[in-house]
Amino acid sequence: MPATTTTNSVVSNLVTMDELHNSMERFWEIEEDKSTPNYSPDETKCEEHFLKWTSRDKTGRYMVRLPRTDSAIKLSDNEKTALHRFFLLEKRLARDPKLDNRYKEFMKECIHLGHMTPISERQKGTSGYYLPHHPVVREDSATTKVRVVFDASCKSQSGISLNDTLLVQLSKKTCVRLS
């Protein structure tokens, strides 16, 4: 029987920070689109909005205001619809204590991070747009078993949703009106 030998080898390549910087610079020069963009009015509006309203908070997170299509488009009250969906959600969560616990933990985290705020007693019954939400369960997911979906397509009494009032970004530099 012939003898077999195993050889372990390690290949090392030293790259200096200057070389890495120069390589990345060349990459971006090659990838950069040098053609003059021919933006539509909505695309131009979206680009201007992004440049004007992008900022960073104290923790370093980026913050951008929602890009509205037209200030004349007004959302009307959707409290009844949102409450109806919420009561259905509560019934669903009551039937599944594990889901109920996961969902409430997610909501607490959203409040803790400042992504949403509970409505005060003073605000109850006032006109506004409420963002309905519901869980999506993926037991086979390795990281997030439950994720929450916020439904910005929920119509208000006027038949307009939050999505209807926003410009939508299709690529890194363009966005279009949904309607």
Read off the pLDDT of residues 12-55 as tens digits, 9 standing for 90 and up.
555 566 777 777 787 777 766 666 667 777 777 778 888 888 88
For residue 145, pLDDT over 50 is answered with yes
Judging by beta carbons within 10 Å of its beta carbon (0-12, 13-18, 19+), is residue 92 exposed, middle or buried? middle
pTM to 2 decimal places = 0.59
Asked if residues 156 and 78 have their Cβ atoms less than 8 Å apart, the reply is: yes
Looking at every residue in the chain, the average pLDDT score rounds to: 78
Query: CA-based Rg of the chain, rounded to a whole angstrom?
Result: 25
How high is the pLDDT of residue 178?
46
Residue owning tokens 């012939």: 2
Mean per-residue pLDDT, 101-118: 87
Tokens at 83, concatenated: 């409450």
The DSSP result for 136-164, as a single string, is EE-TT-SS-SEEEEE-TT---TTS--TGG
Mean per-residue pLDDT, 155-175: 72
For residue 84, pLDDT over 90 is answered with yes
52 Cα distance to chain centroid: 19
pLDDT digits (tens, 9 = 90+) for 45-56: 778 888 888 888
Secondary structure of residue 133 in the 3-state scheme = strand
Q: Which long-range contacts (CB under 8 A, 24 or more apart) does 159-163 make?
A: 160/73, 160/74, 160/75, 160/76, 161/75, 162/66, 162/75, 162/129, 162/131
- Between CA 69 and CA 124 the distance in angstroms is 28
Asked if residues 53 and 64 have their Cβ atoms less than 8 Å apart, the reply is: yes
